[in-house]
Amino acid sequence: MEEFPKKIILMGYMASGKSSVGRELAILLNRNFIDLDVFIAENEDLSISQIFDEKGEPYFRKKEMVYLRELLHNDSAFVLSVGGGTPTFTGAIEMINEKAFSIYLKASIQTLFERLVPEKIERPLLKKIPDIALQEYIAVHLFERSHYYLKANLSVSVDFKSTNEISKEIVHLLKENGKLIH
């Protein structure tokens, strides 16, 4: 049987496709899929937007780390999609890379902008930014975060590719890189 890393983490900017690719990749690898935002919302009994509105971003970030740590330290195999900000907080990327195999879904500013305009309102960090300023915001924010994303064990470009193509490409790369993976 194929030996894939037990814990696979997908990271990348908002709307880079972490959840949809994660769901499909988990099926291909025959294991559970976990979305960190869904996990937080279920455990806190509040939606992500409600957590931001009612408790504030620092509370969300604290919980994000608590649940990430919990998931990374259990013994189960999974594909986990984390939030766009998760790897950028103190010690997070180091912990991710120590306990799991990380993959960065790399999308261009243009791709992210086109995807985020229509769904901006659902995103606590973006909903107050006017459309006209959104592309510049994404460019700066992505630049700041890229330093962390680029520490992933593997980067996969997602522009102009379907979820299915990306998931299959990841499986292929995992097989190819098998010897390098713990």
Residue pair 9/158 in contact by the 8 Å Cβ criterion: no
Token pair listed for 100: 């799991």
Q: Which residues from 19-38 bind ligand S3P, rule CB under 6 A?
A: 37
| 17 binding ligand S3P? (CB under 6 A) | no
Q: Judged by CB under 6 A, does residue 48 bind ligand S3P?
A: yes
Show contacts with ligand S3P in window 127-156 (CB under 6 A): none
Is there binding between residue 124 and ligand S3P (CB under 6 A)?
yes
Place of tokens 């975060």: 145
Instruction: Tell me the window of 80-88, 93-101, 157-165, 169-177 that interacts with ligand S3P (CB under 6 A).
Output: 80-88
Asked if 123 touches ligand S3P (CB under 6 A), the answer is: yes
DSSP string for 148-166: HHTTSSEEEE-TT--HHHH
Residues that bind ligand S3P (rule: CB under 6 A) add up to a total of 10
3-state secondary structure 86-133: HHHCCCHHHHHHHHCEEEEEECCHHHHHHHHHHHHHHCCCCCCCCHHH
Partner residues linked to 78 by β-bridges:
7, 32
Interface with ligand S3P, residue 41, by CB under 6 A: no
Task: State yes or no: residue 125 binds ligand S3P (CB under 6 A).
Answer: yes
Does 65 interact with ligand S3P (rule: CB under 6 A)? no
Q: Both tokens of residue 97?
A: 């890379």
| Min CB(62)–ligand S3P separation in Å | 13
List of residues contacting ligand S3P (CB under 6 A):
14, 18, 37, 48, 83-85, 123-125
